[in-house]
Structure 1
Amino acid sequence: MRDFTQTRRSTLKMLAAGTGILAAPSIIRPAMAQSKVVNITTYDKFVPQSFIDQFQKDTGIEVRIRLTDDQGKQYNLLAAEGNAPSTDIVTVTGHRLSQFITSNLLAPLDTGRIGNWNKLAPAYAGAPQLSIDGKTYGVPLLAGFEGLVRNTEYTKASDSWDIMFDEQYKELTSYIVSDFLSITMKYQGTDGDYVTYEGKDAEALAATNKARDYLIKNKPQVRKYYDAGSEVQQMFVNEDIYVAQAWSGPAAKLIMDGHPIELSIPKEGTYGFLYSFNVVNNAPNADAAYKFLDAMLSSPEIGAAMSRQSGFASAFAGVDTVLNDKERAAMTLPDEQLQRIQFFSSKNRKMKNDMIDKASAEVKAG
């Protein structure tokens, strides 16, 4: 499977124009015990400036943001700093969490110090992808997922990935091969994230090849395979395609721009990633970090602002009541659909990457 970190980065760049005020980056000074400072490493547009301003006013705690664009860079920085980190809070995706934890870079989260912990949406509260050995390591923030995207003017409503293989839409579909191959495995009842295939190479290969062969058989459905979110957007705008597998960010942008697009998660399920805020082990300002996290969860308006800026779905409860109709269509889903998201795991990724990459090349060549 291709590295979806690049997909997310592209989505953020694509959503940059006109999506709100940025959290201005500051230089993070060397670590020292400063109870009136909290240092946060995060992505562009994740933390609304209006929230930062209010938090600083209410608490007297200075918020210093360092922007990152890559999980690997963030990991390397923390690892290099060792027991004297300059950061209090980092932003980690679920599939990379175990790497940070096994390197002793993150502290278990004391949810008792976060009075607003119960204000997370049910689908994300106590998310298993943020828990290891019974300990929670992150506050869920934003979620991205692979959804079924369709032009509502030219397609029938569908609650199944079946529509991607419907003869009615021959040469009118599109997808990222590596991503949709995993979804096809889920559609066929096998494990597209390969978590259950550890030490079961033959079983994994059989499931992979079954999905590969199905996509080759249904190749006449596809107008074009795509790689970047901007490509699938343009195909929808030009009406070159009516149905696609796409990440939620590009789909949300189409909806916000007024195109007749619906984003949903079919009954067979899908895959996604979850960003979380994590307290760094030996954080120089842990008390301030917990105050920041508690304040962030205090209101659905904050979660709504984060969604508006980033284009991702919020993990906070009540956000749907704050957004307008167009925003709700772009950035929220019914709870029963949210429950269908399987968040990527870090387990058995080498097998997954090797098999998906090989099968994807065979689909394109087939």
Structure 2
Amino acid sequence: MKKIFLLLALVFTLVSCGDSKKDENVLYLYGWADYIPPEIYQNFEKETGIKVVEDIYSSNEEMFTKLKAGGTGYDIVVPSADYVEIMMKEKMIDKLDKSKLSTLKNINPLVLEKLQYFDPNNDYEVPYVMGATVIAVNTQYVKDYPRDYSIYNRSDLQGRMTLLDDMREVMTSALDMLGYSQNVEDEKAIAQAAEMVKGWKRNIAKFDAESFGKGFANGDFWVVQGYPDNIFRELDENERKKVDFIIPEKGGTAYVDSFVILSNAPNKEAAYKFIEYIHRPEVYARLADILETPSINIPAKGLMKVKPLYEIEDMKNAQVLRDIHNTLDLQNKYWQEVLIAN
């Protein structure tokens, strides 16, 4: 899933990912940019003597392609749920030794349940962050609006709205609005969802996965589908008060990014120590404060000093994107029709 997180000033560069020689004092992590605060790495090294070296990817697809092409030397990867499922099926990740993860008990069961459709006992992943895709509404300009994707049917807002340039996000929301699962195999259902999106397209300014936050902040767009952190980081405190974040009960989507340990990881013991460390309440509270994300760690929630943009409970009905390999090509066929439609 495409996400851009708070800039945190420190970037670690992986210089020897092709070297599989084990060094018990170095842990190689492959993850999203600016996702784990640098101070977390620094404090972990002070306590354990293990240095974390981080390499960055910009999409799940980029990460998966690199690993399948032979990229080695990494210990931990942080994929979204659909790619955890794929990597589990491909036998790319280890089944976890939970006896080495004493802090697993701190994780909110609601988050674990979101992953149990493919991993019933949560044997292959430790959730790190759960977040929502929202509809952000500028209440200064938009009044009396529905709290779901039917807002995109409003022709009076034509040219003032955007949707993500992301087939999975948009098609999943449309299918759910129609009462279908995201992995439905009935072509008529997928075609019906595409027709709904074509209707939405007539009222939006564009499909946008990169600049929606800035466009919303400067008033060009009044309704955008996107990620809350991308939007709020562009706004001051007064401007934030004019924003309504909608996580629709119908059509809503969410992501769960998790730590997984690669089957060919050279330093699995260090990987277990790091994952266990992250879910200490005081550690997780600090990183959640920095990211302004809801705490998936129950005891950490009581230690947070910054109010998150929304709560885990708000995502109870949101669908986590799944591996839809059986229908991916079919959905893409209809998505291309959406993109060229007038």
TM-score range, shorter chain: 0.7 to 0.9
1:225 aligned partner: 206
Q: Does 1:285 align with 2:267?
A: yes
Structure 1: gaps of 5 or more residues? 198-202
Q: Does 1:180 align with 2:170?
A: yes
Task: Decide which moves more: 354-363 or 270-279.
Answer: 354-363
> Which residue of the other structure, out of 216, 235, 238, is the alignment partner of 1:236?
216
1:118 aligned partner: 105
Shift of 1:78: 3.9
The 3 A distance-change label for structure 1 pair 24 and 212 is: closer
The 3 A distance-change label for structure 1 pair 276 and 365 is: same
Q: Does 1:299 align with 2:281?
A: yes
Shift of 1:55: 1.3
Tell me if structure 2 keeps the 8 A contact 1:248–1:312.
Answer: no
Q: Does 1:210 align with 2:192?
A: yes
Residue by residue, what CA displacement relative to the aligned partner does 1:260-310 show, whole Å, maximum 9, x if unpaired?
32222112142233221111114322222111111111025535526735x
Shift of 1:116: 0.9
Q: Does 1:22 align with 2:10?
A: yes
- Give the structure with the higher percent helix: 1
Q: CA RMSD in A?
A: 3.2
TM-score using structure 2 length? 0.82
Structure 2: gaps of 5 or more residues? none
Residue by residue, what CA displacement relative to the aligned partner does 1:49-91 show, whole Å, maximum 9, x if unpaired?
2111211111222322233334445435544559xx5222122
Alignment of 1:197-346 (within 5 A): 197=185, 203=186, 205-217=187-199, 222-230=203-211, 232-255=212-235, 259=239, 260-299=242-281, 301-302=283-284, 304-305=286-287, 308=290, 315-317=296-298, 318-319=300-301, 322-325=304-307, 328-329=308-309, 333-346=310-323
Residue by residue, what CA displacement relative to the aligned partner does 1:174-215 show, whole Å, maximum 9, x if unpaired?
223644343122112112x22x42xxxxx2x22222233334
In structure 2, the residue corresponding to 1:98 is in which secondary structure? Answer: helix
Using the alignment, how far apart are the partners of 2:110 and 2:44 within structure 1? 27
Q: How many residues align?
A: 335
Tell me if structure 2 keeps the 8 A contact 1:130–1:136.
Answer: no
Which one-letter code corresponds to 1:161 in the other structure?
Y
Tell me if structure 2 keeps the 8 A contact 1:31–1:86.
Answer: yes
Task: Decide which moves more: 113-122 or 250-259.
Answer: 250-259
1:354 aligned partner: 330
Task: Decide which moves more: 261-270 or 26-35.
Answer: 26-35
The 3 A distance-change label for structure 1 pair 41 and 172 is: closer
The 3 A distance-change label for structure 1 pair 163 and 126 is: closer
Shift of 1:134: 4.5
Residue identity over aligned pairs, in percent, reads 17
Tell me if structure 2 keeps the 8 A contact 1:41–1:87.
Answer: yes
Alignment of 1:142-181 (within 5 A): 142-155=129-142, 156=144, 158-166=146-154, 169-176=157-164, 178=167, 179-181=169-171
Tell me if structure 1 keeps the 8 A contact 2:295–2:312.
Answer: no
TM-score using structure 1 length? 0.78
Using the alignment, how far apart are the partners of 1:323 and 1:164 within structure 2? 36
The 3 A distance-change label for structure 1 pair 72 and 267 is: closer
